Copies of this chain bind each other. A is one copy, B any other.
Amino acid sequence: MEIEVLEGVFDANEIIARENRALLDKKGAFMVNLMASPGAGKTSFIMKTLEGVKETLECAVIEGDIAGKVDSERIAAAGVQAIQINTGGSCHLEAKQVNTALGRLELDGVDLVIVENVGNLVCPAEFKIGEDIKVMILSVAEGHDKPLKYPLMFSESHVLIVNKIDLIPYTDFDIDALEETVRRMNPEIDIFRMSCRTGEGVAGWIDWLTARVKG
């Protein structure tokens, strides 16, 4: 039976991703794998999300970066459990690193774990970490042509956050063209237009996320 169960498992990463999944299920926690280019606004988005759900959900954050710990310090300063993973040179998080971080968090009572992956539109999409959903952020400053260049990220994500919409008037970004391209690649995706800087569009995401986590 053990062999049969493992037949569909492609590699060690997937085995550990399933372990993470089982641990989160046991604790009743929902996990978001948050991915984006460098500078798309992942940490600001996490801060806005934590603020939006603070009355309803108990949260923890795992911060993945090549180097540095400014992000986890910023989150811990807001009173939320945060663990920093430094990948050294690696351009993505693997399930094993997330497993170690989950082991260091106090998960009892936690409803939502947000994992900030390394800033990269390529490899993070290929490595499962045991998440419930993959959420990606695209900043309008990156341009509306990105889905054609980084197709896996856009087709694998459950949610697309189009961030920094306050900059649209100063760019050539065509948000309708972007959404059309993305929906053609991934008809099931949920798209939220947002500015973490001004707060526009955050409420809709908070309602959606809260319903998913509680549901």
Q: Which residues of A contact B (CB under 8 A)?
A: 37-40, 65-68, 70, 89-91, 118-123, 126, 138-139, 141-143, 145-146, 148-152, 164, 166-167, 170-172, 197
Contacts and interface: CB of A to CB of B under 8 A. Distances in A.
A39 B139 contact: yes
Given A126-B89, A167-B141, A152 B66 contact: yes
Given A142-B39, A151-B67, A152-B66, A122 B126 contact: no
Main secondary structure of the interface of A (DSSP, over half): loop
Nearest to A69: B148
A163 to B, nearest CB: 10
Q: List the number of copies, as a whole number.
A: 2
B37 A122 contact: no
A57 to B, nearest CB: 27
B70 A150 contact: no
A149 B91 contact: no
B123 A68 contact: no
A123 B120 CA distance: 10
B119 A39 contact: no
A128 to B, nearest CB: 15
A170 to B, nearest CB: 6
Contact of A39 (B65, B141, B152): B141
A65 B149 CA distance: 6
Given A66-B150, A66-B151, A38 B39 contact: no
9 interchain residue pairs of minimum CB distance: A39-B142, A141-B141, A91-B122, A37-B37, A68-B148, A37-B38, A39-B143, A38-B121, A91-B123
